[in-house]
A and B are shown apart, each in its own frame.
Chain A
């Protein structure tokens, strides 16, 4: 079974530039999550999708961050314009709502450095 795919793995940009991250979840997983993990901290949930719909985006900085999930499969997370404090690893995860284990499957992450 293929895992969660993310790209790019690394991205370096200057502040005020824009960046986009892509995620392809495990086939059949209806729930998709984007987490932000700053160095030395735990992952912080940015947004959670159930199929096409947003379940929770309470901690997404909506003035600069946006996310969409096309056709309930792939997802893109965009930052525009980027700030220095956005330097972090952006983790995508997916889960199957019918799976009662509650287990999240994570991708390898996209590491963003803002200069």
Chain B
């Protein structure tokens, strides 16, 4: 059974600092890995999707890397802003098209 772990569980930084969020998974037989953002009491918004054959994806200030063989992904958010405050969830798509999620990292960016 796929297990997804996210470290740290919570993170508080001053505005302008770079953020580093970590995700690890136990079974490397995946189709892709995704990072989602969740605001309090809301649904999930997809941020980045990395296919298993890719090493990284970038969107604006966000960059996500994938090392499938070691079961690790890292989400970098450059020059953080208060609007980046949210919970970030990592999820892997297994070969049976099911998503397994980590518990998330709750980020607070202080103005």
Asked if A and B are interacting partners, one says no
- Residue positions of B touching A, CB distance < 8 A: none
- A residues with CB within 8 A of B: none
